[in-house]
A and B are shown apart, each in its own frame.
Chain A
Amino acid sequence: MSEFDDDDAGSADKLVAPGLSEKALLATGIRIGTPVRTKTMEAFTARPRPDGLHIIDYARTIERIDVAGKFIAATGAKNTVVYTSREHGAVAVQKFCELTGAMSRIGRFMPGTFTNPLYPGHLDAELVVVADPMSDMQAMVEAAKLGVPVIAVCDTDNVTDDIDLVIPGNNRGRKAIAAIFWLLARSTLVRSGSLAEDQAMKYGIEEFETKVEEEPKPDDPEERISERRE
């Protein structure tokens, strides 16, 4: 077995959280980066794989998720806005907000959501969490204007400008983003005292995943002809 085979890596006996083994966590692809690595993300990457993909040091991911959980719990989840513009992170953000009581914003970020008090959808945020700094730039720009701290899930190719706490992790994968938000929700609930450390959460990682609907297969012309004959 190669050390780079992520599906087989990790120990099945070592638990990261109740009901989640290290092997199951690594199978989500949480540590798979991109071929590009920025200078600021150098500290969070372990080594490049033979195919050129940079691998994220997942021990630091878990450490930072714990710190972010403390930060959200101390600031108050109700004052936290969690935003993603990506479709595959939508369910993870919704479930996170359902469990912790944070405010969620999904899809297009209307300019002025933080800065324009006359806008009907205006939000007063004390802390902003974004799933991808590259696609969620507008939320970060507005948070920077107001002096609101920002927590961001950063891949190896992300620039960490205007970010106050980086959570290194794969933010492109459906399963990986679900795992990160699941761990973050768990950490927030434990740190705020609403969940015991050995207690299981209401939802599993699978429920944090965005489901992909299979496209209907194109009709077979031969089948159609036989149906007409009948």
Chain B
Amino acid sequence: MSQGTVTLPLCNSCNRPIKPAERAVHFSCPNCHETVIWRSEKCRKFSRRYKCVNCGFEGP
């Protein structure tokens, strides 16, 4: 059986890895549409800020 590593996406707000079962959301940056923004369930619920690393757009 081969062993591999799985890279989990990181939340843009809290930088924690997002588990596959988590109700997270990901979308391309609304402003530049070049980077993918991941928001964990908790950060989304608490309305924590996210920032695009490419254009600097801050949401929500």
Contacts and interface: CB of A to CB of B under 8 A. Distances in A.
A49 B45 CA distance: 30
Interface in A157-196: 159-166
A149 B27 contact: yes
Contact of B60 (A75, A127, A147, A160): A160
A147 B26 contact: yes
Given A164-B60, A165-B60, A70 B31 contact: yes
Interface residues on A, range: 20 to 34
Nearest to A162: B44
Contacts, number: 50
A67 interface: yes
Interface residues on B, range: 10 to 19
B58 to A, nearest CB: 9
B33 A163 contact: no
Nearest to A159: B47
A165 B59 contact: yes
Contact of A70 (B27, B33, B44): B33
A165 B47 contact: no
A59 interface: no
A145 B47 CA distance: 16
Nearest to B44: A162
Interface of A: 40, 67-68, 70-71, 74-75, 127, 144-145, 147-149, 159-166
